[in-house]
Structure 1
Amino acid sequence: MPEGSKEIRADHIRKIQNTEVEITDKNYDNTVKEVKELCEKDPNGIMIQDTAWEGYEKIPGWIIKGYGLIVDDFLHQMKEKPTHIFLQAGVGSLAAGIILGLEERMKPEELPVITIVEPETVACYYLSAQKADGKRHHLEGLTKTMMAGINCQTPSITAWPIIRDSAKFYGTLSEDIDAEGMARLGHPLEGDPKVVSGESGAAGFAYVYEILSNPALAKDRAELGLDQNSRIIVLSTEGNTDPDNYHKIVDENNPF
């Protein structure tokens, strides 16, 4: 696991069949490279990773296709098709999988408006969209965010073209906005169910909640085409994987 990973998350994995887990002194990209080297040295080594590069594309491609099955779940539950979907992205495989899943199950004119959401400190898709040269771009240095599951500095080679050709908007959110989203899910309005969603899991919702609830963002709402008739999909991709931080944000600092 990359530098900055919480020990409690490593412990959760260690409990699965006594798995060996090491937190490195490297960022996500370089940790992936280290694991790749370890697998190449082991005659029985198999690397299962959802980010792809030249020569390593088959397994990430399978993972992307697997993510697409999530679309069946929410389309089955909805009486009407979604108008908007907000997808948090690390290397982008989840977002790409959902996009492909939508495109396989809906007519082009039915597809929702797709927005990619990233932490403001680690936004390689936002950067790539800003560059607007059709290429994926890498963020340098050691990046930090409490949204550890999407602390990724390079778009996956298999996910990038899917997202590039389908997403209409790219947005970033701060730690404070993310925390507010977590707390809102944990302390919902009367009649709504409580959702326990961790830092990375709540990112898509937190972004939408800020857009919809902040009066200063009326222009952003209009640009996104959000109104009282919108049918919005967000995905919670993580539960309470860091209990101390979750309790601090959702219970101790709860603004609701």
Structure 2
Amino acid sequence: MADKIQWASNTMPKSDDKHLGIMSLDHVKKARAFHQSFPQYTVTPLARLDGQAARLGLSNLCVKDESYRFGLNAFKVLGGSFAMANYIADETGKDVAECTFDYLTSDQLAKDFGQATFFTATDGNHGRGVAWAANKLGQKAVVHMPKGSTKPRFDNIAAEGATVTIEEVNYDECVRMAAAEADACERGVIVQDTAWEGYEKIPSWIMEGYGTMASEAAEQLREMAINRPTHVFVQAGVGSLAGAVVGYFTNLYPDNPPTFVVAECAPAACLYKGAAAGDGDPRIVDGDMPSIMAGLCCGEPNILGWDILRNHVTAFVSCPDWVTARGMRTLGAPEKGDPRVISGESGAVTTGLVETLMLDPEYAELKELIGLDKTSSVLCFSTEGDTDPDQYRRIVWEGEYPTC
């Protein structure tokens, strides 16, 4: 029997919501203008899955497909690149609006700023994005990957010219390692979406960068005459992406925000554990976190993202690996007429969760709590493609991690 989905209704006391402003519409507009200055920029597809929606009994189901982002097969570059641009803007006394791709790749940047070394920890996608941006901007990058990281993800980072290692510790220990090395380096900068006391500015810029993806999705929904999603499902590792998405849509629809559901991988479900405790504090998960959802295997939350989530999310859900495997297979073999989405292990968990809630009566209580029914217009984010092609094929073609 497969492991069960666990979930917690949000009964936590509200905070003063002081971090919601990070994802203001003006901040996200600046981030999107920055990304639009890149010659590689295109709006990634929003897959409208009408056939699957009809089969599941939903009004609409749409999945944002980040496998097309900048040719990097994942959304993470949006945050790292915008944080680096903001850092350079601060150092040179400019507004980030002046730090376009053309300026950041110009000879003038070398005169104004010179060269720094950007340190980060990653399961693969964030590090590849930081390495890619550093390479394009003539900067240096050092990337540490946690125990169990795969060779294809390592190779993708190394191909961007970064110094990259796989360590024998978990993700959160790699974050501490990267931060210590940045402090010891003459021009070292830690670029991490994990925020902690005293390290909040760069994580907030990263979250704003993620807002480009949410802004595109909202615009695409309107073009499809779906003026507002009733439900937004988003995955969480440290919670920066989830906080960014929830924060953006809360600011976009302040009088009638969607119902938000956060999905985590079970071994690293620090947000779910915090919600289950009900006291307003997240929990820290330590040690090994065995899961195919490598990008979500983070045990220490971003305090900025958590503050947004505790105020606006209806349910936090802890998902075993079979949930995302189900989503990967469903998106990879769609209903007739629906577009195919190649979604990786950390990308498909929300679609797998929606599918399960609509089809499995065991989770009727959660389905009822969030009001998921035939009137629902659901938005999910597939945050990565097949970043490990061999594992993707084992799951989608060969049936690893069956639903039951």
1:238 aligns with 2:384: yes
For residues 70 and 39 of structure 1, the distance between their equivalents in structure 2, rounded to whole angstroms, comes to 29
Could you say which residue in structure 2 is the equivalent of 1:211? 357
On the 8 A contact 2:250/2:258 being kept in 1, the answer is: no
1:41 aligns with 2:41: no
User: TM-score, normalized by length of structure 2?
Assistant: 0.61
1:5 aligns with 2:149: yes
Coordinate RMSD, CA, aligned: 1.5
1:184 aligns with 2:327: no
Q: How does 1:215-226 map to 2 (within 5 A)?
A: 215-226=361-372
1:98 equivalent among 226, 241, 245 = 245
Could you say which residue in structure 2 is the equivalent of 1:172? 318
2:197 equivalent among 54, 60, 71 = 54
SS of residue matched to 1:46: strand
Report which structure shows greater RCO (CA 8 Å, sep ≥6): 2
On the 8 A contact 1:148/1:200 being kept in 2, the answer is: yes
For residues 290 and 151 of structure 2, the distance between their equivalents in structure 1, rounded to whole angstroms, comes to 16
Moved more, 30-39 or 95-104: 95-104
Could you say which residue in structure 1 is the equivalent of 2:175? 32
1:184 Cα deviation after fit: 0.6
On the 8 A contact 2:193/2:202 being kept in 1, the answer is: yes
1:127 Cα deviation after fit: 0.5
Q: Rg larger in 1 or in 2?
A: 2
For residues 335 and 266 of structure 2, the distance between their equivalents in structure 1, rounded to whole angstroms, comes to 27
Q: How many aligned residue pairs are there?
A: 254
Which whole-Å deviations, capped at 9, do the CAs of 1:195-233 have from their partners, x for residues lacking one?
000000111111111111223333332222011110001
1:57 Cα deviation after fit: 0.5
SS of residue matched to 2:189: coil
For residues 361 and 332 of structure 2, the distance between their equivalents in structure 1, rounded to whole angstroms, comes to 23
Could you say which residue in structure 1 is the equivalent of 2:106? none
1:190 Cα deviation after fit: 0.7
Could you say which residue in structure 2 is the equivalent of 1:247? 393
For residues 104 and 73 of structure 1, the distance between their equivalents in structure 2, rounded to whole angstroms, comes to 15
1:134 Cα deviation after fit: 1.2
Could you say which residue in structure 2 is the equivalent of 1:140? 286
Moved more, 36-45 or 131-140: 131-140
Higher strand share: 2
For residues 99 and 43 of structure 1, the distance between their equivalents in structure 2, rounded to whole angstroms, comes to 37
1:177 Cα deviation after fit: 1.9
For residues 171 and 105 of structure 1, the distance between their equivalents in structure 2, rounded to whole angstroms, comes to 24
On the 8 A contact 1:10/1:21 being kept in 2, the answer is: yes
SS of residue matched to 2:232: strand
For residues 172 and 120 of structure 1, the distance between their equivalents in structure 2, rounded to whole angstroms, comes to 5
Could you say which residue in structure 1 is the equivalent of 2:261? 115
1:15 Cα deviation after fit: 0.7
For residues 56 and 220 of structure 1, the distance between their equivalents in structure 2, rounded to whole angstroms, comes to 36
On the 8 A contact 1:177/1:206 being kept in 2, the answer is: yes
For residues 233 and 279 of structure 2, the distance between their equivalents in structure 1, rounded to whole angstroms, comes to 23
Which whole-Å deviations, capped at 9, do the CAs of 1:54-99 have from their partners, x for residues lacking one?
1111000111112123222122122220000111000000011111
Structure 1: give runs of 5+ residues left out of the alignment: none
1:252 Cα deviation after fit: 2.0
1:107 Cα deviation after fit: 2.6
Find runs of 4+ consecutive structure 1 residues off by over 6 angstroms. Answer: none
